[in-house]
Amino acid sequence: MAGKLTLTVSQLCEYIRRMLQLDPMLHGVELKGEISNLKFHQTGTIFFTLKDENAAINCVMYASDAARLQAAPFEGMRAVVSGSVGLYVRGGQMQFYTSSLRAEGVGVLYERLLALKEKLSREGLFEAQRKRPLPPYPDTVGVVSSPTGAVIHDIMNVSLRRDPQARILLCPVRVQGIGAADEVVQAIRLLEKIDSVSVIIVARGGGSMEDLWTFNEESVVRAVAACKKPVVSAVGHETDVTLCDLAADLRAPTPSAAAECVTPMRSETLAQIAGLREALTGALGRQTEQKEASLRLLEARLSACRPQKRLSAEAERLAQKRAQLRQAIGARLSLGEVALAQRRRELDMLSPYRVLARGYAIVTKEGGAVRSSAQVAGGDVVAIRFASGTADARILSSQSEEG
């Protein structure tokens, strides 16, 4: 009886690994099942379990193979994977080394698309009232797209043809594969923070549903909907519709159409400006004429109603009244003088002094008139008033006449 073979665990695991590696039936195998326990390692490697109703196997897909994926796998996805069976020696576990992975029919992705669309639609991310108008004259147009390929060249050609001074700022990203969604989200947020960027175009060329799946990822759709600046989605061909298209403020059928939508035709704009300038000049001239006519009318009204003119009129009236008053006073004085002269003549005719002019005199004694010789006696001093002048006299004697 032969002796028993004693192996270490490492030797046994290495032997099994080699046996599995040498078996041609275990290479180039395709498995189909449902993905679970999905994990994305920071190195880019993907770990998951592929299972059906009766069994499960651990799977690993290294970063070099994962980089070729058109769409990231998701939990619960029914998938077809290709690869080979091997043994992970350190853990002593059999696992499937996956070189490619695809959805088991388009229906799988389509079902997920419908479910996510329904979820986001209930949240209102696709509502028409959320859509914002594009700026008519953008400062800088931000573009989220691949730096290679025809998309960015089409956008540049169309934009510069319409406006040679158009400014295009490309934020380069991968548009498919693992990690592409994160790059698109970061690019949108970066362009959103740049003050000069007025509108953002998210664009890529056409392809299958898997090729365009980055723009159906929930993170990308939410980034587009949450962007504070208008977003134009130009993903795929006209017949391709992604959730990014629904969340954007405007969906363009092609990247070239997106460039036409956001870039105004410079020649047309200049013609509009010239027309507006001419219309504005004409309107300004007419308004100036109207204002000048109104000003002249107001000046005339002000001139007619100004206080200085009224004061001048009142001063003229006062001067007239003063002249009339002076004339009236002069006339009254003249009449008074005439009347006074007449009265003076009348008084003069009646005045006792008038008799003196004929040679008579008035004799007064102690201020009283002497009418009779009996009123004086010898030695009395009397005053004699002549027609011209007076004289004092002494009475030598007086005699009375007896009749």
Mean pLDDT, 10 residues at a time, the chain of 403 residues: 73 83 84 87 90 88 87 82 88 89 73 86 92 92 92 93 92 88 95 95 86 90 95 86 92 92 84 85 88 86 73 84 88 85 79 74 84 83 84 84 58
- Number of residues that make up the chain: 403
177: left (phi over 0), alpha (psi -120 to 50) or beta: left
Residue where the block lists tokens 């996956």: 98
- Number of Cβ within 10 Å of residue 170's Cβ equals 18
Amino acid 1: pLDDT: 47
Amino acid 127: pLDDT: 92
The candidate with the shortest Cα–Cα distance to 194, out of 220, 219, 171, 225, is: 171
Query: What residues pair up with 202 in beta bridges, in sequence order?
Result: 144, 233
pTM, two decimals, is 0.56
Q: How far apart are CA 185 and CA 175, in angstroms?
A: 11
For residue 239, what are its two tokens?
């017949």
204: left (phi over 0), alpha (psi -120 to 50) or beta: beta
What's the Cα-to-Cα distance from 270 to each of 176, 265, 338, 377, rounded to whole Å? 40, 9, 98, 139
Q: How far apart are CA 362 and CA 70, in angstroms?
A: 161
Please work out, in degrees rounded to the nearest 5, the angle formed at the alpha carbon of residue 196 by the alpha carbons of 164 and 201.
70
Amino acid 402: pLDDT: 59
Amino acid 2: pLDDT: 57
